[in-house]
Amino acid sequence: MSEFAEIDARLLVLFDGRCGFCNAAVRWLARRDGHDRLRFAPSDLPRVAALLDRNGLGAVSFALRPSTLIVVRDAGGEGELLLLRSDAVLALLDEMPGYWPAVAAVLRPIPRPLRDFGYRSAARVRYLLGGRLEACPLPTAREKAKFLSPAEPAA
């Protein structure tokens, strides 16, 4: 059984749990996830470290670049795929209701290096925008089902 079986066919969003801007963005996504397509996990969970290791983004490498948003398709499955930076943002916009998939469609033709430059520019000032948190905030009761538990799932 996959260590991410509880995710099912949903996208897994890995984020910097100590970044105030990142936490605000995750909560924004969680509130708008009307089709229940997303699950969230701070990047410092042990099973996330294992996922990063097997995909060549070991915990040390990721810790050096925590500003990289990662979206995982088929987490723990045979088709596991990691989307980084602007590709991750586009995947998330595609899952949002309303006009957000159209925004993704407008942004997608922009060459990835240019999109990633915009992403990295915003990531450089994220602590200025949202501050640095002492610890990853606990999700509200309503959000809790969308966040992976720090405890390992039962096998």
Residue 12 belongs to some domain of the structure: yes
pLDDT at 106 over 80: yes
pLDDT digits (tens, 9 = 90+) for 127-151: 565 556 555 556 666 767 787 776 5
Residue 76 belongs to some domain of the structure: yes
3-state secondary structure 94-106: HHCCCCHHHHHHH
CATH number at residue 88: 3.40.30
Q: Out of 2-6, 14-18, 48-52, 102-106, pick the least confident.
A: 14-18
Task: Name the average pLDDT for the chain.
Answer: 80
- Strand 11-15 versus strand 70-73 pairing type: antiparallel
Residue 81 belongs to some domain of the structure: yes
The torsion angle over the Cα atoms of residues 130, 63, 56 and 107, rounded to 10 degrees, is 20
pLDDT digits (tens, 9 = 90+) for 42-54: 877 888 888 888 8
**Structure confidence at residue 105 (pLDDT):** 97
Average pLDDT over residues 79-92: 93
Residue 52 belongs to some domain of the structure: yes
Residue 147 belongs to some domain of the structure: no
**Structure confidence at residue 13 (pLDDT):** 92
Q: Which residues contact 26 (CB under 8 A, 6 or more apart)?
A: 13, 15, 40
Average pLDDT over residues 25-36: 86
Domain count along the chain: 1
